[in-house]
Amino acid sequence: MHVKSSDTFYVLLLIISSTVAQDCSQPCSCSAAPPPCTLGSSLVLDGCGCCKVCARQLGDPCSLLEPCDHHKQLYCDYSLLSDSDTGICMGDRDFVIMQWEPSNVLVGQPP
């Protein structure tokens, strides 16, 4: 297998940025405009309280700077991965089912 130098560069850049991204001791450096979030994703403050970010959703990887959507009672479970800086967004099973259940849809009824 041949690995291109550009692939190696991007992997190295990803490792460095994720290592630096976990440090809240640095001054805040946020973009002027909030990021565009996908439909259903909340705009929340990162774990440092610096920048607005799109909240991670159920099953997404999460971290200090990429927090889970607390409006949906999701939390970052760090015990699921061996990397202690990264977790998976989890939630209370009953609350998550209640949030995603299409209770207001009437089958067979015209809109």
Q: Where are the domains of the chain?
A: 42-101
Q: 42-101 maps to which CATH number?
A: 4.10.40
Sequence-ordered strand ranges (E) for 4-100: 43-45, 52-54, 61-62, 74-77, 87-91
The pLDDT assigned to 54 comes to: 96
The pLDDT assigned to 9 comes to: 38
The pLDDT assigned to 80 comes to: 75
Cα–Cα distance for residue pair 62/87, rounded to 1 Å: 5
Cα–Cα distance for residue pair 36/21, rounded to 1 Å: 20
SS3 of 90, please?
strand
pTM above 0.85, yes or no: no
Residues 6+ apart with CB under 8 A from 72: 42, 57, 58, 91, 95, 96, 99
Cα–Cα distance for residue pair 98/72, rounded to 1 Å: 10
For every one of its 111 residues, what pLDDT tens digit does the chain have, with 9 covering 90 and above?
A: 454 554 443 333 333 344 344 578 889 999 999 899 999 899 999 999 999 999 999 999 999 999 999 999 999 999 877 767 899 999 976 555 555 544 444 444 444
Contact present, 88 and 77 (Cβ < 8 Å): yes
